[in-house]
Structure 1
Amino acid sequence: MIAARPDEAVPSDSQTLKAAWRDLVRGFGQHELWLQLGWQDIKQRYRRSTLGPLWITIATGVMAFALGMLYSVLFRIPVAEFLPHVTVGLIMWSFISGAIKDGAEIFIENEGLIKQLPSALSVHVYRLVWRQLLFLAHNMVIWVILMAVFPRNLGWHALLVIPAMGLLVVNGVWVAMFFGIVATRYRDVAPLLEALVQLLFYVTPIVWTTQTLTDQGGQISERAKLAMLNPLYHYLEVFRAPLIGAPVHAYNWWVVIGCTVGGLVISLFAMKKWRFRVSYWV
């Protein structure tokens, strides 16, 4: 038997990719805990409120209507075409921005539970994603009303929203986990992400479309191609297009799948290196 030299670092079992993946699996298995905690977050937020979670729907609906009417006039796009684009974009953006901004604070806000509750670290991430899904479900009521006012022949392509939602959930998990760990270690990251998310809102086609950037001849301009370099554009497209009857291009799916796999790998490496230190950083 050969003994390890003093200058050779022996990796701990908690600092392996297998341990990081085991944390995600174990946390998912504790679904009763994070489902209950996520639902409790909604109840706590709207405690003593008459309308309760309906305020989520009302606020999003008013914002979508105001921006849709305004920019449809500015861009000279028919309201029936532009309002669903803006509405679904805002609904999806609330999920994306929530995963980023709330994810940066997820471990800091749950300091007490992390130190006292013997559970997987990923439980708090699943709790956040579940809460965002509840918000999304409330906001989808607006889409139902919109389809009743501006009916469209969606067809079977609308079912593509199911795999799109699955990909977005996986992305929500790795985004919250990665930024949660980094922002717990470096507290300046959270306000930086707040400003970055605000900037991304304006450079992502939510209240505008890539069609407004096309040339007069209908050809895709350099500006439109530049906008397509934004990964969030593709995330919105795979979810929004099936719900408004627009085609989804294959490259949109490939970009989203590639970013999902890459982000999950990065998150696993971050968990491998720093997961066991989170309880000391909070």
Structure 2
Amino acid sequence: MEPPVVSFLVQPTSTVERPEAPPEANSRTFARAIADVREGWQNRELWGHLGWQDIKQRYRRSVIGPLWITISMGTTALALGLLYSQLFNQEINTFLPYITAGFVVWNFLVGCVTEGTDVFIANEGLIKHLPAPISVHVLRLVWRQVLFFAHNLVVYAVVVAIFFGDLNQPYQMQDDPVTHPGLSWAILLAIPAFALLAVNAVWVALLFGIISTRFRDIPPVIHSFINLIFFMTPIVWHTGILHKVGADGDWRMLIAELNPLYHFLEIVRAPMLGHQQSWHHWAVVGGFTVLGWALALLAMRNYRARVSYWV
């Protein structure tokens, strides 16, 4: 008896399916990076609600709640205004509004930078379990800082109301050779200036957030460095003092001019105080806006898909 013949049917292999590229490779395009930011903005209800809940959670079981933000800003501005007005021999009626406006804007800038380094690390749970663009967490952070800024504006409004008679006319700060025009409708320039600050805050948090997620030494370095920048930024002192310390005050102005935060601070503070507006501050901020967003989109293009693995 002959053994059974077993036949094997071979399927034709005219078309060979290639394995698909990994998701990370497909996501490394500028189009995907821009789409992430666009989709994040479209989720306004999500990050708007989360940002508001952050403030409510921080002051839960507190009697006056978020008003502690205003009280803290008010006591700080008053204490430092009284102290440094005596140290620098400044008139309190113009120096206290200067310090108050400076602190209000500075707190927003520093909050976006320092918290931006931890933005993805602090949202590890949401990033791993919530299918949302990573820009949502950055917009949540910036929105939270905007709410803090709004609370602190109450202190600024009170101080300006008290010293309105001195700020509503041309005035000079002590040792400042520039005569400022005083408060006018030019104060409305603070609105687009602050909007420009918020736009920059987004790229700062995106860029530093991605870098800090990969290299965990960056946040403490930024926190330490920002304390040095505070004393080098005209907040508790003004640039006119640099001219007082010597006849060569022109080169001393580089202490302020080479500090990027000074320009971001000044485009908002100057109209808030009726100071003479220097348009080179807007040019510097505009340049940083373009450069910063280019770097942030580059980081998003290359590493946005890895953030969920790094946190």
TM normalised by structure 2 equals 0.85
One-letter code aligned to 2:155: I
Instruction: Decide whether the 8 Å contact of 1:86 with 1:207 is kept in 2.
Output: yes
Q: Name the counterpart of 1:98.
A: 111
Partner Cα distance (1:218, 1:80) in 2: 27
* Aligned residue in 2 for 1:204: 233
Q: CA deviation at 1:12?
A: 2.9
What is the RMSD of the two structures over their aligned residues, measured on CA atoms? 1.7
Q: Within 5 Å, give how 1:201-280 maps onto structure 2.
A: 201-215=230-244, 220-280=249-309
Following TM superposition, by how much is the alpha carbon of 1:18 offset from its aligned partner in structure 2, in angstroms? Answer: 1.2
Alignment CA distance shift 1:72-1:218 (3 Å): farther
Structure 1 CA distance for aligned equivalents of residues 287 and 191 of structure 2: 18
Q: Given residue 280 of structure 1, which amino acid in structure 2 is its aligned partner?
A: Y
- Offset of 1:167 from its aligned partner? 0.7
Hey, what does 1:4 align to over in structure 2?
A: none
Is the 1:215–1:221 Cα contact (8 Å) retained in structure 2?
Answer: no
* Paired AA for residue 72 in structure 2: A
Number of matched pairs: 274
Q: What's the TM-score, normalizing by structure 1?
A: 0.94
2:140 and 2:245 mapped to 1: Cα distance? 48
Q: Which of 53, 60, 64 is equivalent to 1:40?
A: 53
Match of 1:116 in 2: 129
- State the alpha-carbon separation in 2 of the partners of residues 103 and 122 from structure 1: 12
**Larger radius of gyration, structure 1 or 2?**
2
Q: Is the 8 A contact 1:228 1:234 kept in 2?
A: yes
The amino acid that maps onto 2:61 is R
**Is structure 2 residue 95 aligned with structure 1 residue 51?**
no
User: What runs of 5+ residues in structure 2 fail to find an aligned partner?
Assistant: 1-23, 169-182
Q: Which residue of 2 aligns with 1:3?
A: none
Contact 1:39 1:131 in 2 (8 A): yes
SS of corresponding position for 1:95? helix
Once the 2 structures are TM-superposed, how far is the Cα of residue 161 of structure 1 from its aligned partner? 0.5
Aligned-pair CA distance for 1:28:
0.3
Runs of 4+ in 1 over 3 A off after TM superposition: 215-220
Flag structure 1 segments of 5+ consecutive residues without an equivalent: 1-10
- Which is richer in helix? 1
Contact 2:232 2:255 in 1 (8 A): no
